[in-house]
Structures are given as structure tokens and as C-alpha cells.
């Protein structure tokens, strides 16, 4: 229940008890209880006057006996409110309507039933839908910027976290974990003693206390592009795709082709509409916050322990547009190292292979393009538009502006910069697996050891795939049919072909998933046009890529298999897989079979999904390896956040991308490496196995996979571990 309602109920109840006591002599309630209620009432009133809302919340929550509504009651009340809206909301007649004609007044919203047929399926399902009149929809599109967004960035620092539902926003309900209705996970966090979660609280508070502001110059460029129709810097076209004209023919083949084109255009326009709404919401928040001195993003966790801003639209986890218009509210002088890091950051954002050069190579790239950088800053839309060639154009533009101002100042090293500079892990999931398995070969492939330039794991896998295919291409096709496929594909193997499969390998990508990923890449190139041949070639390429991955990351595959096998053993007993992260946060996998629950309302019969007691064994098994690694990367980020705060650094984090001021990048780099080593010096897999054995003493678990002899402390001297 909202705090304001709880306060009102508390004040009314305490006033009522006082009146009842005065009216009834010899009532059952003691004078002491009445006096205590009166004392609390005065205390709450005084605290409200002093705006000490956390203290008010604590008192009224303890006095609130209101029971939460059950799901059925919420559904019935919600449907009745929708029904009242439909009865009372009408479209006003157009302004140009003639006075002598009946007014065209019609309902703004209608309830109806529709049968929805999914692609590649013959039968459909019948759904109740609420449709708004086209005029209402047009009006909403024009006024999207005026929508009420409840969880806005805060203008004051968030309330510090002290419990499951105590922290973050002053008035809005705030929960430390997004459990999405998973009761067992919610109860596990609620039961956890507060002192056990102190590090998690501190990390979330650190992230929430980072102060941001809007980069007005970049926002101005975004607004100009959007006003002129979008279509630049990855912004969607503001206009719909026109529908093809219906051919004047009775030829069934031509009509089928036309219908297919119409469906394709409808799909494209739906996607454009969705993207336009998304941009409007982001810009609405940016415009509302642009004149503020600064603002804050309260953070909470997903069930694995990864941190996210609670405001959903304009935040630093978002798109290039979001990141481009955000900067730190606090500025810091660049210093010599900061000026270099700002130049390196620009090269990283430009990407296109530049981000794979050595740090010196990236510095040289930026210095060789200073004229383009100055032109981008001075005339972003009228000039050469060099910044639009970047992989992250709006962020690139922001750095162009910052770097231009610094270099034109009388002393670039004393120039105060507000720009967040990123340091990103290289294929971070595999970095965690290499550390878990002490895998020397894997560690070298993902930059856990020092090198003259960054190792590119995607190019490494592509090279191994190419070697295998060249050998296969020499074989006799009558004995080895894949030899023909190898000859076709040998000129198609590159970094891009295998990148998605390598990236998702740590998330347990299957052979079918890898096949579909590679098929999409091959289809884009148009070298193989026959659909069957494309499918067979994709099968062979996927099999070869997974073989190369298995060779290069044997330890990672062994750990994934071990984690999956443990999960299968536990889930087969109809129990969810649960563990405690290195920061002592309890995690319970939520995957259970969903049952149907019917509720009869005034509108229609609603079918709601509800968790059952049946565990989804396969889902528990396949999800456990990636979820476990995500809980580890979340722990590393939070450990780094706490240490950066203690060192006096401004810190923001996006899972495996850590941000600070340019002048502080060297300090942050030292801290994040130390925290990674500290994390993996703990016996993580041993502790996990021990917790499984304690929770399920009757079950037999496989032995831990063998580990290599990689020295974790090599990470401390690796310049490209995060870069």
C-alpha cells in the first residue's frame, strides 16, 4: 500500500480510538494503550512536518494491520475499473463538424475478442482485448512526452538500503530484488539477516549515489535529428513504410506475393512504432531533467545479483542515445593520464577494429583524426559528420565535444571533464570461466595475461575453425561428404561469422542455437542461395565452431558440464537449484511449471498463469551455468564499486563495463584487477559443492572438474583484461 494511504489510515485509526474511549466509559482498551497511540500520533505528525519520511514509514508500517489483496481480488477490481472507464470515456466531436449534423460521439475504448494465430501455426487462441479508438491512439502518440513516469531519476540521493523493501525511493514502493512473482526467491531474501547483506546494500548505495546530469549539447543534436524525421545515428524513421498497391489481377501467385509484402510492411511499421515510442519516452525524461543540476538512479538487483537502475528509460544501461546524453554531474581535471584515456575512449567508441589495436595504436588513431573531431564538435550536422561513422555515434559525439574543449583550453590537463570513461571486459563470461578453471590457454585467449595488444578471442576461434575446414576440404568427398561444404565455407570464415556463437557459448548455447546464428550470418552474405544447402552448410559450420570452442576452452566446457549435471541431479528431486553468491546473497532459480488459474470478472473470464510446485528440470539444468556466472560477474562489479567509493572515485557499472572519470581510470583499473583476484582466490566451486552436499546429503554429486595451473596474479599485470 502507498505510504500516503498508510499514514492516513494510521492517523484516522488513532483518532477514532481516542474518540471511542471518550464516548465509552470503562472500555476494554487500557489508558496506557490509548496514551501510547496518542504519543505515536503526535510523533508521526511532527516527523511529517520535518519531512523525515523513513522514520514515518517505520512507525506506520508496524501499526498497519491491513492485509494485502489476493490476486483474484486485484483482477476483479482492475476489470471493474476498466469497465467504468469504457462506460464514461468518449471521443469528443471534431472541431470542424457541422452544427446541423448529429454529433459523432463514440466510445474511446472498446472490449472485444480476437483470435490470434502465431506464425507457422494453423490454430489460434482467443483473447479478450481492449482497443482504443484511432483518434485516441494518434493523440497518445503526440502527447507521449507528457506521460506520467513514476520511477523517475531522483533529485536527492536515494534512501540507503536496509532491508528487502527499505531503501531507494522516498515514497514509491521499492524492493531490493526483482523477483517477478517467484515466491521462493522473495522469501529467501526476506529471511536473510540484514548484516549478511551489508556488502550488497553498500554496493547498491554506491551505484545509487553517483550523480548524473544531461549533456545539453548532445541532447540538442538528438532533438534536431528527431525533429527532422530521424534516420541518422541509428534513430528510427519517424514515417511508416508505405503499403504496396494491390495488383489489378486475378493471378493467385501475384496476389500471394502482394499479401506477403503487406504483412512484411505491417511488421516493419509495428517495429518502427515501438521504437518511436521508446525514443519519445527517453527524450521526455531527458528534456525534463536537462535543467537540473544533477540527479540519481536508485539501483536494485535481478535474482542473480546483477545490479540495474530502477528507472527504466533513460539510464546508462540503455542505448547509445541514452549514454550519449548522460554525463557525470561532478567534473574532475583530466591530468596527463586522463587526457590520454579520453583519446583512447574515443577510439573505443569509434570501434570498427580500432578498439582491437594496442592502447598506443588507439591514441595514434585519435590524434590522426583531430580535424574530424573538431569538425564533429563544431558542426555536428552541417560539417563532414565524421562522428556518424562510429559504432556508438552519440557517445562518440559527446567525447568529440569534450576533447575539443579540452585541447582548445589554455591547459588541457587542468580542463574539468564530466565524461564517463568505460573499461570493458573482453568476453567477460569466458574470463570468469578461465579464472574458475585456472585455465592457461583460455586465460591467454581472453586477456587474463599480459600481451602487446589485446587478444581477440573471436578471431582466435575463427582461425581455428578455418584450420579445421582447410583440412576437411582436402578430404575425399565420397568418404567425407562435409569436404564439399568445407570448400564452400573456407572463404566465408571470419570473426563476424563466429562472434555470436562464441559470445553465447558461456550462456550454454546449444548446437541448434549455434546453427541458427551462423545461418543468419551466411544468409546476410547471399553466397549460398539454396535454402537446403544453406541449412546443411550452417549445420557443418556450427559443429566446427563448437569443436573449436571445446578445444580452446576445455576447462570452461568441463565446468559448464559439471554445473549442468549438478543442477539436473537437484532438479530431478523436484527441488530448485539455489546457492549463495560470494557477497552472501541467496539465489534461487525460479523455473517452475506454470499452471492456469481462471478468474470470473465483470468483463470476461481471465486466465492467469500461476507457479506450480513442479520444477522444470531441463530449464533448471540449462540455465544454471550462465546464471551462476552472472552471479559472479555481479559480485565482481559490486566489490569494485565498494572499493572505488572508499578510494574516492565516482563509479558506475554496466555488468562487465566499469565507468569512472578519465583522470581516475588508472586507479579504477588497479582496483578492478585486485578485486577479480580477491574474488577467485576464494574456493568458489568447492563452496558450491559443499553447499549442495549439505542441502541434499542423500544425493551423490560428480567430483569437481580438474583445474589448471594458471596464476591468478597474472591478471594484475594484464593491461587488456579490462580495456
d(CA 144, CA 276): 10
Centroid of chain to Cα 558: 28
Q: Where are the beta strands (DSSP E) in 364-463?
A: 416-417, 420-424
User: What are residue 212's DSSP bridge partners?
Assistant: 295, 328
Centroid of chain to Cα 109: 33
Q: Where are the beta strands (DSSP E) in 502-591?
A: 578-580, 586-588
| Alpha helix (H) residue ranges in 438-530 | 440-445, 457-473, 482-489, 495-505, 511-525
Residue 509: C-alpha distances to residues 323, 496, 503 (Å): 29, 17, 9
In contact, 682 and 530? CB cutoff 8 Å: no
User: What are residue 588's DSSP bridge partners?
Assistant: 578
Q: Where are the beta strands (DSSP E) in 169-311?
A: 177-178, 211-214, 295-296, 299-302, 307-309
- What one-character-per-residue DSSP string does 116-144 give? E--TT-S--EEEEEEEE-HHHHHHHHHTG
What is the SS3 assignment for 25? coil
Residue 276: C-alpha distances to residues 281, 316, 429, 523, 525 (Å): 9, 19, 33, 28, 29
In contact, 389 and 404? CB cutoff 8 Å: no
d(CA 263, CA 179): 37
d(CA 281, CA 309): 16
- Which of 21, 282, 499, 675 is catalytic? The answer is 499
Measured in degrees and rounded to the nearest 5, phi and psi for residue 299 equal -115, 150
Phi-psi region of 233 (alpha: psi -120 to 50; beta: other; left: phi over 0): left
What is the signed CA dihedral for 196, 200, 202, 206, rounded to 10 degrees?
Answer: 180
Catalytic, 499? Answer yes
In contact, 221 and 232? CB cutoff 8 Å: no
Provide the grid cell at 432: 570468469
Residue holding cell 576447462?
Answer: 555
Residue holding cell 527532422?
Answer: 228
d(CA 411, CA 565): 60
What is the SS3 assignment for 204? helix
Cβ atoms within 10 Å of 599's Cβ, excluding its own: 16
Residue 246: C-alpha distances to residues 254, 265, 268 (Å): 9, 13, 18
| Alpha helix (H) residue ranges in 70-119 | 71-88
**Helix (H) and strand (E) counts in the chain:** 25, 21
- Which of 72, 223, 278, 424 is catalytic? The answer is 424
The DSSP 8-state label assigned to residue 682 in this structure reads S
d(CA 286, CA 323): 11
Residue holding cell 525460479?
Answer: 590
Catalytic, 302? Answer no
What strands lie across the sheet with 420-424, from one edge to the other?
420-424, 657-661, 652-654
Catalytic, 717? Answer no
Residue holding cell 557499472?
Answer: 653
d(CA 446, CA 449): 8
Q: Which residues are catalytic?
A: 424, 499, 656
Amino acid at each position: 500500500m502507498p505510504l500516503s494511504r498508510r499514514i492516513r489510515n494510521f492517523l484516522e485509526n488513532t483518532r477514532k480510538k481516542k474518540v471511542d474511549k471518550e464516548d465509552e466509559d470503562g472500555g476494554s482498551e487500557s489508558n496506557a494503550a490509548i496514551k501510547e497511540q496518542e504519543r505515536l500520533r503526535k510523533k508521526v505528525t511532527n516527523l511529517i512536518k520535518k519531512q523525515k519520511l523513513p522514520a514515518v514509514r517505520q512507525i506506520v508500517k508496524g501499526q498497519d494491520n491491513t492485509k494485502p489483496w489476493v490476486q483474484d481480488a486485484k483482477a476483479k477490481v482492475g476489470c471493474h475499473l476498466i469497465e467504468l472507464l469504457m462506460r464514461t470515456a468518449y471521443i469528443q466531436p471534431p472541431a470542424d463538424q457541422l452544427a446541423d449534423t448529429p454529433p459523432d460521439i463514440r466510445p474511446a475504448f472498446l472490449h472485444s475478442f480476437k483470435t490470434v494465430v502465431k506464425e507457422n501455426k494453423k490454430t489460434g487462441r482467443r483473447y479478450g482485448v481492449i482497443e482504443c479508438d484511432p483518434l485516441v491512439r494518434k493523440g497518445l502518440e503526440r502527447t507521449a512526452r507528457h506521460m506520467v513516469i513514476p520511477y523517475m531519476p531522483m533529485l536527492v540521493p536515494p534512501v540507503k538500503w536496509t532491508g528487502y523493501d527499505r531503501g531507494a525511493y522516498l515514497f514509491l514502493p521499492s524492493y531490493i530484488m526483482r523477483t517477478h512473482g517467484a515466491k521462493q526467491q522473495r522469501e529467501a531474501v526476506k529471511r536473510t539477516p540484514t548484516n549478511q547483506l551489508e556488502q550488497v546494500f553498500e554496493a547498491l548505495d554506491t551505484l545509487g549515489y553517483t550523480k548524473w546530469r544531461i549533456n545539453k549539447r548532445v541532447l540538442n543534436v538528438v532533438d534536431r535529428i528527431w525533429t527532422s524525421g530521424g534516420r541518422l545515428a541509428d534513430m528510427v524513421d519517424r514515417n511508416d513504410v508505405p503499403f504496396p498497391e494491390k495488383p489489378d489481377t486475378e493471378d493467385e501467385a501475384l496476389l500471394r506475393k502482394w499479401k506477403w509484402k503487406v504483412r512484411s510492411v505491417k511488421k516493419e511499421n509495428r517495429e518502427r512504432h515501438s521504437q518511436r515510442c521508446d525514443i519519445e519516452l527517453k527524450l521526455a525524461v531527458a528534456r525534463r531533467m536537462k535543467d537540473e543540476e544533477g540527479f540519481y538512479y536508485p539501483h536494485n538487483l535481478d535474482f542473480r545479483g546483477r545490479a540495474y537502475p530502477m528507472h527504466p528509460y533513460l539510464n546508462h544501461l540503455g542505448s547509445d542515445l541514452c549514454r550519449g546524453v548522460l554525463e557525470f554531474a561532478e567534473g574532475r581535471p583530466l591530468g596527463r593520464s586522463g587526457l590520454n584515456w579520453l583519446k583512447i575512449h574515443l577510439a573505443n567508441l569509434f570501434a570498427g577494429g580500432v578498439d582491437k589495436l594496442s592502447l598506443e595504436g588507439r591514441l595514434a588513431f585519435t590524434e590522426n583524426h583531430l580535424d574530424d573531431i573538431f569538425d564533429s564538435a563544431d558542426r555536428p550536422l552541417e560539417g563532414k559528420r565524421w562522428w556518424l561513422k562510429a559504432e556508438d555515434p552519440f557517445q562518440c559525439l559527446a567525447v568529440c565535444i569534450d576533447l575539443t574543449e579540452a585541447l582548445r583550453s589554455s591547459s588541457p590537463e587542468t580542463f574539468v571533464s564530466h565524461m564517463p570513461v568505460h573499461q570493458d571486459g573482453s568476453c567477460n563470461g569466458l574470463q570468469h570461466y578461465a579464472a574458475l578453471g585456472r585455465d592457461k590457454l583460455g586465460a591467454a585467449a581472453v586477456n587474463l595475461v599480459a600481451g602487446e595488444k589485446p587478444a581477440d578471442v573471436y578471431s582466435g576461434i575463427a582461425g581455428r575453425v578455418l584450420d579445421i575446414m582447410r583440412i576437411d576440404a582436402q578430404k575425399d568427398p565420397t568418404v567425407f561428404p562435409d569436404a564439399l561444404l568445407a570448400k564452400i565455407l573456407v572463404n566465408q570464415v571470419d570473426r563476424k561469422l563466429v562472434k555470436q556463437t562464441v559470445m553465447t557459448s558461456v550462456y550454454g548455447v546449444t548446437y541448434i542455437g549455434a546453427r541458427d546464428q551462423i545461418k543468419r550470418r551466411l544468409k546476410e552474405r547471399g553466397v549460398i542461395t539454396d535454402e537446403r544447402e544453406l541449412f546443411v552448410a550452417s549445420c557443418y559450420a556450427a559443429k566446427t565452431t563448437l569443436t573449436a570452442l571445446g578445444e580452446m576452452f576445455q576447462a570452461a566446457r568441463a565446468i559448464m558440464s559439471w554445473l549442468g549435471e549438478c543442477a539436473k541431479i537437484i532438479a530431478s528431486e523436484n527441488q530448485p537449484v539455489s546457492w549463495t553468491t560470494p557477497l552472501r546473497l541467496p539465489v534461487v532459480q525460479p523455473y517452475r511449471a506454470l499452471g492456469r488459474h481462471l478468474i470470473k470478472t465483470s468483463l470476461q473470464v481471465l486466465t492467469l498463469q500461476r507457479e506450480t510446485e513442479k520444477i522444470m528440470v531441463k530449464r533448471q539444468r540449462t540455465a544454471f551455468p550462465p546464471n551462476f556466472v552472472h552471479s559472479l560477474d555481479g559480485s565482481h562489479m559490486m566489490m569494485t564499486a565498494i572499493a572505488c567509493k572508499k578510494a574516492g572515485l565516482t563509479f558506475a557499472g554496466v555488468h562487465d563495463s566499469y565507468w569512472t572519470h578519465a583522470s581516475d581510470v588508472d586507479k579504477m583499473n588497479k582496483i578492478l584487477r585486485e578485486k577479480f583476484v580477491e574474488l577467485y582466490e576464494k574456493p568458489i566451486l568447492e563452496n558450491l559443492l559443499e553447499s549442495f552436499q549439505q542441502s541434499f546429503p542423500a544425493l551423490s554429486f560428480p567430483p569437481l572438474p580438474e583445474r589448471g595451473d594458471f596464476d591468478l596474479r597474472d591478471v594484475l599485470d594484464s593491461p587488456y583484461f579490462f580495456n
